[in-house]
Structure 1
Amino acid sequence: MYGEELPAIVKERLDRELNSIISNGYAVMYIIAQKLVWKSNEDGYLVGSRGSVGSSFAATMSGITEVNPLQAHYRCPNCKYSDFDSPEVKAFSGRSGCDMPDKICPVCGEKLVKDGFDIPFETFLGFKGNKEPDIDLNFSGEYQSKAHAYCEVIFGYGQTFRAGTIGTLADKTAFGYIKNYYEERGIHKRNCEIDRIVQGCVGVRRTTGQHPGGIVVLPVGEEINTFTPVQHPANDMTTATVTTHFDYHSIDHNLLKLDILGHDDPTMIRMLQDLTGIDPVTIPLDDEAVMSLFKNTSALGVTPEDIGGIPLGCLGIPEFGTEFAMQMVIDAKPQEFSDLIRISGLSHGTDVWLGNAQTLIEQGLATISTAICTRDDIMIYLIQMGLDSEQSFTIMESVRKGKGLKEEWKEEMRAHDVPEWYIDSCLKIKYMFPKAHAAAYVMMAWRIAYCKVYYPLAYYAAYFSIRATGFNYEIMCQGRERLTYFQKDYERRKDSLSKKEQDVYRDMKIVQEMYARGFDFTPIDIYRAKPDRFQIIDGKLMPALNTIDGMGDNAAIAVAEAAKDGKFLSRDDFRQRTKATKTVIDLMGDLGLLGDMPESNQLSLFDFA
């Protein structure tokens, strides 16, 4: 990336990081993460980084994260020329390199790569390597189990265990237990006495489970029972999974824990890659049409009136597609990629936006660029204001955990002209995300948004296959008028919708947008449809079999497998070969999906009359 002779700024950053990583014994974590990421990439799945690992340039160079934490800069992919110091580069300090104007290499004439997100390494390890690092990785949900299995390949059989969790009693459950106990014995207790006993029961262990992505690694030569008992989760002896009996928080200082989590974004990007042939890594992060999705609906070729009054085009884009996130986008008015990272930081934090940054922006005291959006902002700003770097780091760590500010810190901040609104903002914050996490998530979201603009059918196919949890063939695929009828009904009952209906209502909006853009569905062909994936056929979308109401994933797989064995002779034959229920078969018949399939295999003389 930077040539044989590294630029001074790159060499200094890498040396500083490697010294901190190696001297504190964290190099092994990098090697393990690198092996896992490389294996996933080799098998065709991108991996997203979580947390602050993206603030480590060593992690970028190891291929663990895509986030480049160096300051904004230009670099030439051909002759390795780089520019960190020109005035136009300096003007983008604290922002993303991808927001800089395009430029041609003055040495060889090649178009320069715009790189860097300006994230300090100290967010990850502290100034003296005194912060315990945690490398969390988002693998595709489809690939997660393979990544877990690959851990066993790396470390050997019997050296890895699933991290256990402890399920405790919640207050309502405890209340039910206690009330039942006294009722069964005919004892009357006042509510205040029951509440007192409830408080003593809340938090008591109820069951054990497993962490969704945690893998605990045992050092070679050690015995697992030295650290923790092990068990099958919830004492289910039929499962091959073995978990730590102790909650992983109790032992994570003694044993290495890897966070290998499953996420929809890498799965969706893999499906988009398969449908479009586009390498997601090559998607530009400065495309104006994609950026316009966060300002209006023009890139979609529709007006807000066409899509139920939604003023933006980012519906269905990860991080930005919910009502809450879209309202933030409207209020914050992002102009560039850097702003999207800041909005992502705001939306993930607790008490960072509502009643805090939102109010400050409305009052004109701050802008999206100056408000506190990610934890790194605090440390960088305080260092700029002249505070000691170690103290700035300590203040950042306290604020991001919701512990507030000590009096002496407030005095120090005031002494360095930190405004009162900034101090008040710090005091309100309960939790903050790191900038590296936000950058990694927004990069993934941007790639999906790019496909929404330039490959709409592929985008809708991937969205409905992977992210839509309430897609209903009967409601959504019978034309725009039928969809509108149900939308109005759901809108009237908006406050009383069940969880399932809320999911359906959310997906209706994406379908409405798809119809408005001029696209349509083709009826399910039971011989061509896939169990859980939408397909593009003749410029239309064919829904998956599991979108038929009442047909679960296993039933959909059974139908797809049975269809491979040849035509169904009758509905009876369909029922026997697929094990589908009568209700589902009747619904499929009503929807015209079974064609003119007779009820049974028996022929009637009248059929030939």
Structure 2
Amino acid sequence: MKEIVNKLFLEEKTDNFKKEISDSLFNKYGLFPQNHITFLLEEELEFVDKNNRIEEVIILYDFIKWLKKEEIPYWLRGAAGSSLLFYILGITRGNPLPAHSFCPKCKSMDWLDHDYYSGFDVKEDLRCKKDGYLLLTDGHNIPWESFWSYEGNEIVFTIDLPIDSYQKIKGFWESYQAEILKEDILVIRKEFKGLRFLNIDCIFTIEKVNQDFYKTNLDIVEAIKNFDLGDLPKPHNFSDLLHGLGLKFSTGAWTDKTKFMIENLGMNLSDMVAFREDVFFFISGKFAYMEDAWLETRNFNKGKKSWRDIGEINLAVDKWKLAIIEDILYLFPKAHCMEYLIFSIKNKYGGIKDV
């Protein structure tokens, strides 16, 4: 990519970009974020930098900032929402960290009990021990590797956009490429009347837009009551709602077996295998190296499940999951459903032509 991008652009944008990351992290988690957060962010940044992806992320960030300025609603498909970097910068909306509470005033933070799959599941009011402020709870436990490691070198940032914003967005890219590129690279696609700029895929699938999208708060309680999961059981909390969406979208995940477990064994939607990450967490403790677990997770949707026969899995207390995993043909990334769900809630549950 460096061969076609203006060199001056790379130098100026990269320096400013790294400062914006630091500023955004400070605004979210204060001057001294917990070590786990800084470790994850530095680890992801190192991966992005080492694989020469930083310029692509900068261009995506510029585009997202422009969309927000113009108040054009959007959401990112695929596993992009698992990136902590993207979340800190405000590119994506779902917090991929494990469930936690934090104080909006003093920025103190605590990890929640492992029983919470999501910070949005906390129903009682929690108060800061230092200043008495009402704590915010967040985090949905999605590893950043789910995006960068899973997709490898073929990463495309796919963004759903309102159909009626096509001409305006086309104009943005034409102006942007004139500023930063040495040659024309914008591709006009027939599918979804789409636009492709480098590895950023703009697809125009949003038919209806909530005009107050950027002012609409995330009402989780209302979403749990009103979001349509079709024939699936009613969710008890946000994790149930999110997993229900995963079961609904995936192929072979919602079967008579999973239905029986919920209706007769007292299990919840959030206990089921609904996402690629559920497979990863299931097998990760059975491998000596995390890379091997990610490799096997990547192979899962290709129909390769060689890990089923390893001894540690046959002795695992959650071996029952094998019975439902064997029926699954395709699983979506958790981040895909997370970004879709948050967008849908802010957009008043719908308006998207194709998920």
Regarding TM over 0.5, the answer is: yes
CA RMSD of aligned residues (A): 2.9
Of the three residues 305, 322, 330, the one matched with 1:405 is 305
Q: Does 1:44 align with 2:71?
A: yes
Distance 2:167 2:260 in 1: 44
Shift of 1:291: 2.7
Q: Is the 8 A contact 1:352 1:372 kept in 2?
A: yes
Q: Could you tell me the TM-score, scaled by structure 2's length?
A: 0.80
Of the three residues 204, 208, 211, the one matched with 2:191 is 211
Distance 1:160 1:71 in 2: 39
Structure 2 letter corresponding to 1:336: N
Q: Does 1:140 align with 2:162?
A: yes
Distance 1:96 1:263 in 2: 28
Of the three residues 224, 232, 253, the one matched with 1:291 is 224
Structure 1 letter corresponding to 2:201: D
Counterpart of 1:60 in structure 2 is: 87
Distance 1:428 1:380 in 2: 18
Q: Is the 8 A contact 1:76 1:113 kept in 2?
A: yes
For residues 381 and 419 of structure 1, do their structure 2 counterparts lie closer, same or farther at Cα, with a shift above 3 Å needed?
closer
Counterpart of 1:260 in structure 2 is: 202
Shift of 1:378: 0.7
Q: Does 1:445 align with 2:352?
A: no
Q: Is the 8 A contact 1:47 1:137 kept in 2?
A: yes
Partner secondary structure for residue 76 of structure 2: strand
Partner secondary structure for residue 170 of structure 2: helix
Distance 2:37 2:206 in 1: 33
Q: Is the 8 A contact 1:386 1:416 kept in 2?
A: no
Counterpart of 1:108 in structure 2 is: 131
Q: Does 1:162 align with 2:175?
A: no
Shift of 1:161: 3.2
Distance 1:378 1:365 in 2: 21
For residues 123 and 379 of structure 1, do their structure 2 counterparts lie closer, same or farther at Cα, with a shift above 3 Å needed?
same
Partner secondary structure for residue 425 of structure 1: helix
For residues 97 and 355 of structure 1, do their structure 2 counterparts lie closer, same or farther at Cα, with a shift above 3 Å needed?
same
Partner secondary structure for residue 160 of structure 2: strand
Structure 2 letter corresponding to 1:261: I
Shift of 1:358: 3.1
Counterpart of 1:149 in structure 2 is: 171
Distance 2:237 2:92 in 1: 22
* Runs of 5+ consecutive residues of structure 2 not aligned to the other structure: 1-27
Distance 2:305 2:267 in 1: 20
Computing the radius of gyration over CA atoms, which structure comes out larger, 1 or 2? Answer: 1
Counterpart of 1:459 in structure 2 is: none
Aligned residues: 322
Counterpart of 1:21 in structure 2 is: 48
Percent sequence identity over aligned pairs: 22
Distance 2:175 2:87 in 1: 24
List per-residue Cα deviations over 1:54-83 (Å, max 9, x = no partner): 000001122210111011111222222222
Distance 1:22 1:359 in 2: 47
List per-residue Cα deviations over 1:153-208 (Å, max 9, x = no partner): 222286233255xxxxxxxxxxxxxxxxxxxxxxxxxxxxxxxxxxxxxxxxxxxx
For residues 412 and 102 of structure 1, do their structure 2 counterparts lie closer, same or farther at Cα, with a shift above 3 Å needed?
same
For residues 381 and 145 of structure 1, do their structure 2 counterparts lie closer, same or farther at Cα, with a shift above 3 Å needed?
farther
Distance 2:165 2:309 in 1: 48
Of the three residues 16, 34, 48, the one matched with 1:7 is 34
Counterpart of 2:274 in structure 1 is: 373
Distance 2:212 2:196 in 1: 33
Distance 1:356 1:141 in 2: 40
Counterpart of 1:545 in structure 2 is: none
Distance 1:357 1:117 in 2: 22
List per-residue Cα deviations over 1:419-441 (Å, max 9, x = no partner): 55423433322211111111111
For residues 104 and 426 of structure 1, do their structure 2 counterparts lie closer, same or farther at Cα, with a shift above 3 Å needed?
same
Q: Does 1:70 align with 2:89?
A: no
Q: Does 1:123 align with 2:27?
A: no
Counterpart of 1:529 in structure 2 is: none
